[in-house]
């Protein structure tokens, strides 16, 4: 076979890609969206996680089931980790470090799987910092698939040159950012995550160390981002890490278009209420699978919604798993006073379906990037209230890009008032003088909801993965 024919054969050969996300649904869901997009091109994807998490993922379209395999690796038991807790949503925040301990112990199971499956690539999350040497030893290419934005990765820059040691150091743009930027944490945001992310937590390893090890060893950095949104940050990312940086798009979920789940009683009840509301009148309120307000925050949010006089649908998380002992309650009489105008749902709610309903006019959100993507692909303006992790950086980035309105808070302790909540809601979704946020959300649909553009990003990623395989085969023949 001549060289041209051999190259053509390699180009046509289908890839086998392993995806290994962190045990949080804000990570697993975008990983799954990428799996579906890769599978649509005829490549095989092995999606690795723990049994309970895989069982809780959305069902695959029938046409993709031959191309995506779910690999269940049991989560080892560690002290202080409650039984059946396999994702961050199952745990209060102070128990998450023990989940990271257990995640580290998945090393043996995934090593055995990779050795037997011999995939072309493994794309992993920041928590799997120990996977790089394993993949290298097995001759498998390794890519760090970041669900964090390029701006967040640049902000942390765990390259060994970061001398920031105090929380205050993280409230300003880092010195290595060569262009004007206000992307940074507020003091109360960084204090809340400082030990886990920078200093190290009960798992024994800081998140900064995990990032550094992943970035140092990976062959490629794939980022949930796009050049239309943050071109300057993507360029800086490549300069900082000296790695190929491949944006994979925003990975928006496919919008619901009917099907068996439309017969779900929960959705039918929610839809029935939304159908009775005026078009573009209802604020949707949700803070993701992990964020849970404390009692003071809950009270101010509730009374702010009441003061706003706007219709609302609130998906409220009262507990993070069965071992969460912090009890929070709505203010006395709140539900009675807002009856008919608002609904508080304390069980699971189908967020994408709710956001896509024509009665929704805005989204009070925690700034989790998956929620941001879902909202902006549907032209829903954002009112932002952060709680944990990278949400502060996301909110700061959205504010800088004029894509979201942050509820005013005390910079030291993060406190806010019901008046600030009410005023921010009305500013974004009602007042004619400030239609800016609504217009910006409509503009952003072209970035976050364009399926053709998303497909182009995935095509580029697949081409990069194939190109690497071709170089590996060429080097093997030379030896």
Checking if the pLDDT of 473 tops 80, the result is no
Nearest to 38 by CA among 469, 447, 454, 468: 454
C-alpha separations of 238 from 35, 220, 246 in Å: 24, 10, 9
**pLDDT for res 472:** 57
The tally of domains found in the chain comes to: 2
The residue-averaged pLDDT of 468-478 equals 56
**pLDDT for res 321:** 74
**pLDDT for res 222:** 96
Of the candidate ranges 73-77, 160-164, 290-294, 296-300, the one whose mean pLDDT is the lowest: 160-164
143 and 275 share one domain: no
Checking if the pLDDT of 433 tops 60, the result is no
466 and 420 share one domain: no
Checking if the pLDDT of 296 tops 50, the result is yes
307 and 409 share one domain: yes
Higher per-residue pLDDT: 215 or 466: 466
168 and 79 share one domain: yes
78 and 115 share one domain: yes
Which run of H or E residues covers position 282?
Answer: strand 282-286
Taking only the tens place, the pLDDT of each residue in 220-260 is: 999 999 999 999 999 999 998 888 999 999 999 887 655 54
Q: Reduced to 3 states, what is the DSSP secondary structure of residue 221? A: strand
Residue 471 annotated to the active site = no
Contacts of range 296-299, beta carbons closer than 8 Å, 24 or more positions apart = 296/415, 297/416, 298/328, 298/329, 298/330, 299/331, 299/418
Q: Which residues are CB-contacts of 465 (< 8 A; sequence separation ≥ 6)?
A: 15, 17, 120, 121, 141, 143, 220
Of the candidate ranges 28-37, 148-157, 269-278, the one whose mean pLDDT is the lowest: 148-157
CA 143 to chain centre: 18
Checking if the pLDDT of 267 tops 80, the result is yes
Catalytic residue (choose from 27, 44, 124, 366): 27
C-alpha separations of 140 from 68, 137, 321 in Å: 19, 8, 37
C-alpha count within 13 angstroms, C-beta hemisphere, residue 75: 23
CB neighbours (10 Å) of residue 304? 22
Q: Reduced to 3 states, what is the DSSP secondary structure of residue 427? A: helix
322 and 387 share one domain: yes
Residue 125 annotated to the active site = yes
Checking if the pLDDT of 7 tops 90, the result is no
Checking if the pLDDT of 146 tops 90, the result is yes
Confidence of residue 474 (pLDDT cuts 50, 70, 90): very low
Q: What angle do CA 164, 395, 251 make, to 5 degrees?
A: 105
Nearest to 281 by CA among 362, 186, 222: 362
Checking if the pLDDT of 101 tops 50, the result is yes
Checking if the pLDDT of 194 tops 70, the result is yes
Q: Reduced to 3 states, what is the DSSP secondary structure of residue 60? A: coil
Tokens of 282: 């209802």
Which run of H or E residues covers position 223?
Answer: strand 220-223
Checking if the pLDDT of 3 tops 60, the result is no
CA 20 to chain centre: 14
Q: Which domain holds residue 305?
A: 260-448
133 and 123 share one domain: yes
The residue-averaged pLDDT of 87-109 equals 92
Tokens of 157: 């820059």
Taking only the tens place, the pLDDT of each residue in 441-457 is: 899 998 998 999 999 99
Rg (the chain; Cα; Å): 23
The residue-averaged pLDDT of 124-142 equals 93
* Cβ–Cβ under 8 Å, residues 393 and 372: no
Taking only the tens place, the pLDDT of each residue in 23-55 is: 999 999 999 999 999 999 999 999 999 999 999
300 and 243 share one domain: no
**pLDDT for res 479:** 43
The pTM (predicted TM-score) of the whole model is 0.90
208 and 295 share one domain: no
126 and 273 share one domain: no
User: In CATH, what number is assigned to the domain containing residue 215?
Assistant: 3.40.50.2000
458 and 404 share one domain: no
Q: At what angle do helices 391-400 and 369-376 cross, to 10 degrees?
A: 40
**pLDDT for res 477:** 44
239 and 294 share one domain: no
Checking if the pLDDT of 371 tops 90, the result is yes
DSSP code string of 6-55: HHHHHHHSPPEEEEE--SSHHHHHHHHHHHHHHHTTT-EEEEEE-HHHHH
- What is the DSSP secondary structure assignment for residue 197, as one 8-state letter? I
Strands 16-20 and 121-124: parallel
Catalytic residue (choose from 90, 120, 125, 219): 125
Taking only the tens place, the pLDDT of each residue in 324-361 is: 778 889 999 999 999 989 999 988 889 999 999 999 99
The residue-averaged pLDDT of 129-156 equals 93
Checking if the pLDDT of 6 tops 60, the result is no
Checking if the pLDDT of 407 tops 90, the result is yes
Tokens of 380: 């829903």
């Amino acid at each position: 076979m001549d060289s041209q024919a051999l190259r053509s054969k390699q180009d046509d050969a289908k890839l086998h890609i392993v995806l290994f996300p962190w045990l949080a649904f804000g990570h697993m869901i975008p990983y799954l969206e990428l799996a579906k997009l890769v599978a649509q091109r005829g490549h095989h994807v092995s999606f690795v996680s723990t049994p309970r998490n895989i069982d809780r993922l959305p069902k695959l379209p029938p046409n993709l089931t031959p191309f995506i395999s779910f690999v269940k690796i049991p989560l080892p038991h560690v002290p202080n980790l409650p039984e059946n807790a396999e994702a961050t949503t199952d745990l209060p925040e102070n128990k998450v470090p023990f989940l990271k301990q257990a995640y580290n112990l998945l090393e043996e199971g995934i090593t055995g799987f990779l050795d037997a499956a011999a995939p072309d690539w493994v794309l992993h999350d920041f928590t799997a910092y120990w996977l790089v040497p394993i993949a290298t030893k097995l001759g498998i290419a390794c890519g760090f698939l970041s669900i964090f934005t390029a701006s967040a990765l640049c902000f942390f820059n765990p390259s060994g040159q970061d001398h920031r040691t105090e929380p205050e150091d993280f409230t300003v743009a880092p010195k290595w950012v060569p262009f004007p930027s206000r992307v940074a944490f507020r003091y109360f945001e960084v204090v809340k995550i400082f030990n886990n992310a920078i200093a190290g937590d009960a798992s024994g390893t800081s998140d900064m160390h995990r990032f550094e090890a992943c970035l140092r060893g990976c062959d490629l950095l794939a980022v949930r981002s796009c050049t239309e949104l943050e071109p300057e940050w993507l360029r800086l990312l490549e300069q900082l890490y000296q790695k190929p940086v491949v944006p994979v798009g925003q990975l928006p979920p496919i919008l619901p278009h009917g099907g068996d789940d439309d017969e779900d009683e929960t959705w039918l009840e929610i839809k029935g209420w939304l159908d009775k509301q005026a078009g573009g009148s209802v604020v949707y309120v949700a803070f993701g699978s992990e964020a849970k307000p404390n009692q003071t925050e809950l009270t101010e949010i509730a009374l702010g919604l009441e003061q706003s006089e706007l219709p609302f649908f609130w998906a409220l998380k009262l507990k993070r798993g069965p071992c969460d002992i912090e009890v929070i309650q709505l203010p006395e009489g709140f539900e009675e006073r807002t009856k008919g105008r608002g609904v508080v749902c304390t069980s699971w709610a189908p967020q994408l379906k709710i956001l896509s309903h024509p009665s929704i006019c805005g989204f009070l959100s925690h700034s989790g990037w998956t929620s941001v993507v879902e909202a902006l692909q549907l032209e829903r303006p954002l009112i932002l209230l952060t709680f944990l992790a990278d949400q502060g950086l996301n909110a700061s980035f959205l504010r800088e890009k004029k894509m979201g309105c942050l509820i005013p808070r005390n910079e030291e302790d993060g406190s806010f008032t019901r008046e600030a909540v009410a005023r921010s809601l009305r500013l974004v979704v009602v007042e004619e003088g400030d239609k800016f946020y609504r217009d910006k959300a409509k503009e952003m649909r072209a970035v976050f909801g364009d399926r053709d553009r998303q497909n182009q990003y995935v095509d580029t990623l697949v081409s990069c993965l194939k190109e690497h395989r071709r170089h590996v085969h060429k080097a093997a023949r030379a030896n």
